[in-house]
Copies of this chain bind each other. A is one copy, B any other.
Amino acid sequence: MNVERLWRAIKKLEIRGAPAIGIAGALGILLAVKKSPAKTGKELAAELRRAAQYLASSRPTAVNLFWALERMECIAKQNIAKPVSEIRKALVGEALLIIDEDKKSCRAMARHGAQLVKTGDTILTHCNAGGLATADYGTALGVLFEAKKQGKRIKVYADETRPLLQGARLTTWELLHERIDTTLICDNMAASLMAKGRIDKIFVGADRIARNGDAANKIGTYSLAVLAGYHGVPFYVVAPLSTFDFTIKTGAGIPIEERDAEEVRTLMGKRIAPRDVKVYNPAFDVTPNALITAIVTERGVFRRPYTISLRKLIRLRKVRTGKK
């Protein structure tokens, strides 16, 4: 494994899910500095900077990547006067800390979120926000795992999540593994279930949340949020502090990755549409804060108006990272 291979793994979604991408970024920095011939802290920091810029170019939306790379860069800068071996050690420590924090925050989010789940609830989720997207329990799925562990009887509908079918491939697998009553649907079937009153709550993850609570997540999330609002179904976003981008005022500032047309024109190698048809393939959409009932974080459940409630998180983030 080298940095180029890791870049490709993120780009091609072999590693995906906002928190997992952050962790991969930190580990990518370790790969870069491990084989570095740098003799001084300054040389190592320069090398680290190049690797960070390169890794940051893999995917533009999930902010956890930039957040983790920044943390690694900070450590290098703080220790720049020390011998290279010391800096390497500090970087390993920071990467392990990022993983450990993600594990702990998964468990904390799950505990806070599970309070919102009642026995008998039928819950809809989109894409994969589980153990395969984080270092541990997952974000949205972690909430469901915890609710189940607490003995709550729940039923889950999983959107298949076109084009890359993370829901069909990953989420159903994780839910079945935890012996949760799981039903797979195509994305366009969710509204019909809501109209029949068969969905009590929706839980999804996020890839970047702006200062006002607007949340970017896998394409199709915004659609669900509008439908949830129309049908009076509570809509919850579950994400750790590392998914918030307090430098961005609203969701309009979140860059949305557009991916290759072949992801839509083919499916697992099979052609499903004319070769020459144009395709629009955004990987994410932005759900405005007004459609989000609450945001579940490792620091508790935040509700509207988010511009006020999220201030507590901004303060926490400053304390933890020494910057905004």
- List A residues at the B interface (Cβ < 8 Å): 157, 159-163, 165, 168-169, 172-173, 176, 181-193, 195, 219-220, 222-223, 226-227, 229-230, 264-265, 267-270, 272-274, 276-282, 285
Q: Are B267 and A267 in contact (CB under 8 A)?
A: yes
Known A187-B187, A189-B281, A192-B219; 10 more pairs at CB < 8 Å: A159-B188, A169-B272, A169-B273, A172-B274, A182-B277, A185-B280, A185-B281, A188-B223, A229-B230, A230-B230
A161, A181, A280, A281, most chain B CB atoms within 10 A: A280
Shortest Cβ gap from A288 to chain B (Å):
9
**DSSP majority for the A interface?**
mixed
Q: Are A278 and B220 in contact (CB under 8 A)?
A: no
Shortest Cβ gap from A167 to chain B (Å):
9
Q: Are B282 and A192 in contact (CB under 8 A)?
A: yes
Please, how many angstroms separate the alpha-carbon atoms of A220 and B162 in the complex?
A: 14
Q: Are B187 and A162 in contact (CB under 8 A)?
A: yes
Which residues of chain B are near A270, meaning CB under 8 Å?
Answer: 267-270
